[in-house]
Chains A and B, each alone.
Chain A
């Protein structure tokens, strides 16, 4: 069973791409990523540039409406995600609880729809 762990960090925490890169390789996030690898549960994931680099697009009546910024503006912003493969929600929650964003912001755990239902 795969789950996506979405990292919501305070918008001010990682102001630019360099800060994100440094953080991803830094002690906190690096250790978390290594823990997922060593547990054999990591399927994938990425860190994202901060929200100011985001563009939001809507197509209405075949016209593009393009806006600067993230889809939802809030105190915490989607800063990256992991995909993990674990037996059930409790296992996913156990790994999500170690995510640095859980302490500074919030993490969302979403089950990934299986392509071939078990």
Chain B
């Protein structure tokens, strides 16, 4: 991680704590978030030059207050006066008391509250917990920055007007509420991870933010098996990121990746999360998806991938959470396990309306038809997949596969 990235990480952590702290105390999110967002920008400008202050929270709080108090001269004064203000700030007894991860956890539950528009939960969480601004997120969410900014403002206003509480949900309500939080974090990851291959640096940094949020959730909720499952799922994906492209920048499919290039530290961390989930398992989508990814990791120990077992896990996932992605995953596993007929039947059972624009459907169908010996059908499916691929590395991989048909 570069120095800039490290500074950004520290600044964000401090930011999230401060929003959580101030919002938990006053119930007002908007004012705190606006001033702190500006303070965060100052931090990212100043810290690389002057070093990260010893107390990032105090620094950000002081700058934010100064910005709010003296809007006219804020640009120059804020950072110049900050050392003095930090000294004053350090005398404030309440600073240390409140800046704890459980406050951030509360804030995440607020952002993913069912009373908040489902599409806004992820951007809201990225903004309020990590200080990302609408401009930076808009591309990843395929919304114009102005529109996203307005929706974020509206969502923040609702938190205040409707007074969404900062207390964690009661035990009997915790599981469904946690599911919303996990979904919002996962959405941040997929929006980031999908853009990654195309060299979209903004999107892949969103994936890292999602991992950070998942780590915090897993650490704060050690007995929540689904939170552990989500962390493991994201970490297995992150561990394989370096192996997804070869030295020439070409896309390498999972089955052909060099297991030596997987990040062993991240795999170990993911395995640990899986072990915690196994201590008190609950039937859940993230544990199943993580188990599928863990099964792929067998190759690290020179064991062949057990595709029959993976297909079984996908069957469970489809039963629990019947998304198009899970159904296509099942079809891919069946094809790899040697049951081409079952794979094609699974694909045929998918609603054509959902399949039409879904690239993995066509890539898997092309692969299964090739295994079945239908070269013409396979070539046609490859064409559909190629047309739906934005990532140049993946596209050239598919073009190569199609050429290999010899049809």
Contact = CB atoms under 8 A, between A and B. Distances in A.
Nearest to A88: B165
B1 interface: no
Interface in B112-167: 113, 115, 161-165, 167
A90 B165 contact: yes
B139 to A, nearest CB: 32
Contact of A111 (B162, B167, B169): B162
Contacts, number: 23
B162 A91 contact: no
B257 to A, nearest CB: 45
Nearest to A1: B163
A87 B162 contact: no
A53 interface: no
Interface string A96-118: 00000000000001010000000
Interface in B160-178: 161-165, 167, 169
A45 to B, nearest CB: 19
A88 B161 contact: no
A89 interface: yes
Interface in B95-127: 113, 115
B162 A90 contact: no
Interface in A26-42: none
The 10 closest A-B pairs by CB, nearest first: A88-B165, A88-B163, A89-B164, A89-B162, A111-B162, A90-B165, A1-B163, A111-B161, A89-B163, A89-B115
Given A89-B162, A93-B115, A111-B163, 14 more contacts: A87-B163, A87-B165, A88-B163, A88-B165, A88-B167, A89-B113, A89-B115, A89-B163, A89-B164, A89-B165, A90-B165, A90-B169, A91-B165, A109-B162
Interface of A: 1, 87-91, 93, 109, 111
Interface of B: 113, 115, 161-165, 167, 169
